[in-house]
Every structure is written in C-alpha cells, then in structure tokens.
C-alpha cells in the first residue's frame, strides 16, 4: 500500500479515495479559470488520484471475490459444503423463517453454530430439484 505526503503527512489510500476526486475537480476548475498551479501540487494530486484508483480497484476486486462465495462456510464438515441461512434463502427461494423451521425439524441437513445455522449446500440444491440429499 503506498501513500503520498501532503503537507508533511502521509495520506492513506482509503483517505485518498475520498479526497482525490475533490482535489481533481478543484484542479480542473483552477486550470479552467487560468490560475497558476505549482507543478509539485499537480503531481501530488495526480499521485493521490492514482493511489485512490488502485485502492478502489482492489476493494471492488475483493468485493466481487467475496460476493461469489458469500454465505459459503469455509469450514467444511467432512467434504460437505455448508452455507448460512441468508444464502440458503437465496438458493431455495423460501423465507428465512421457513429455512430455520426446516433446520429445526431436521428436514434439512444442518448444524447449529452458536445462534446461527449452517446448512448443507447439496441438500438445498437437491431439495430445490425435488430430490434427496446424496448423504
């Protein structure tokens, strides 16, 4: 993670992502009205914009990576992939209460993890197709 120095202080990339667009707009306004802007100030603002773009791209990439696996429990029970209730609702198309009820009645292969449920992904997919879970 790189940072730029503004007035003797390092600017972290997440802060640069907030201030860079404002500074770029102000720089564009200054150029439009013909104000003289020092080269080192322009370099600093452009560097902040680059840092901000890199940081935002990393955040978007992380977000897309986690949205692909959202709700999938990285802890497996043997070779069984487990999902949380919200993901089970998305897969099954029934309400959250219905999923929890199926778990309580043991109609789904599920385990309790504290106050939440972890549900067998294969069971959900098989149930959606009208079949039984393979295990």
Tens digits of per-residue pLDDT, 90-127?
988 899 999 999 999 988 888 887 788 888 888 888 88
* pLDDT of amino acid 79: 65
**Average pLDDT for 6-12:** 64
Q: Which residues pair with 111 in a beta bridge?
A: 118
Whether residue 67 is predicted with pLDDT greater than 80 in this model: the reply is no
* pLDDT of amino acid 8: 46
Residue 63 Cα distances to 13, 69, 70, 71, angstroms: 17, 10, 10, 13
What is the C-alpha separation between 104 and 31, in angstroms, rounded? 66
* pLDDT of amino acid 29: 92
Look at the pTM and tell me if it is higher than 0.95: no
* pLDDT of amino acid 63: 63
């Amino acid at each position: 993670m790189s940072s730029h120095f503004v007035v003797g202080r390092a600017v972290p990339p997440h802060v640069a992502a907030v201030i860079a667009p404002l500074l770029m707009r102000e720089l564009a306004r200054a150029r439009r009205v013909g104000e003289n802007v020092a080269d080192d100030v322009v370099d600093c603002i452009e560097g902040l914009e680059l840092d901000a773009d890199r940081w935002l791209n990393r955040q978007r990439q992380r977000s897309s990576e986690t949205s692909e696996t959202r709700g999938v429990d990285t802890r497996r029970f043997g070779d069984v992939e487990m999902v949380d209730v919200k993901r089970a609702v998305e897969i099954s198309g029934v309400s959250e209460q219905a999923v929890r009820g199926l778990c309580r009645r043991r109609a789904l292969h599920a385990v309790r993890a504290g106050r939440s449920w972890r549900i067998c992904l294969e069971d959900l997919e098989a149930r959606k197709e009208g079949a039984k879970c393979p295990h």
